[in-house]
Amino acid sequence: MNSVLVLNQDYSPLTICSVQRAFLLVFLKKAELLNSVEDRELRSISATYPFPSVIMINRYIQLPYKGVVLSRHNIFKRDAHKCQYCGANKDLTLDHIVPRSKGGKSSWTNLVTACKKCNAQKGDSTLEKTGLKLQNAPIKPSYISFIKMGVGALREDWRPYLSPKKASA
């Protein structure tokens, strides 16, 4: 509950920031408070302020690429830091479903999180030859779904802003 959803001026999600950063953006009039947490407040010596939950930046920010970058960290995050073969959450590494030696590329749909034991068992073979089965099919996450992953369970007060339809101004 200590994170704040930051929206662009068109109500599209930009990022998630800390409550302190969100408060500062609103206080400096660089953002507008759209939603606050009812039972909480921020206090100074002489004033109280709403506890931010959703803010909107006052100027539209043009993003050159609004996608999720393929990286080791982001593959682990997509796979919830669990081996996609056995479900283990220790000694994790990346595995190419179709090995690079057999023409497999480093892509969202060919890379999965695997524990060292399963990765060694699979080795340079295909899934069919080893008998290993994926618990989840690897997908390329959308930007919005990746924001949802970043906060764990989807917060109810963010739901209207993270749905595929944009909220109207």
Q: Which residues contact 101 (CB under 8 A, 6 or more apart)?
A: 124
**Among residues of the chain, what percentage have pLDDT more than 70?**
90
Confidence band for 13, pLDDT divided at 50, 70 and 90: confident
**By three-state DSSP, how is residue 92 classified?**
strand
| pLDDT score recorded for residue 64 | 73
**Arithmetic mean of pLDDT over the chain:** 89
Convert the pLDDT of each residue in 20-43 to its tens digit. Answer: 999 999 999 999 999 999 999 999
Q: Which of 1-5, 78-82, 118-122 has the lowest mean pLDDT?
A: 1-5
| pLDDT score recorded for residue 14 | 86
- For the chain, the structural domain boundaries read 3-65+143-162, 72-130
43 beta partners:
48
Strands (E), 8-69: 13-18, 31-43, 48-57
| pLDDT score recorded for residue 93 | 97
Convert the pLDDT of each residue in 70-101 to its tens digit. Answer: 999 899 989 999 999 999 999 999 999 999 99
| pLDDT score recorded for residue 157 | 86
Query: CA 78, 109, 139: angle at the middle one, nearest 5?
Result: 45
Q: Which CATH code is given to the segment(s) 72-130?
A: 1.10.30.50
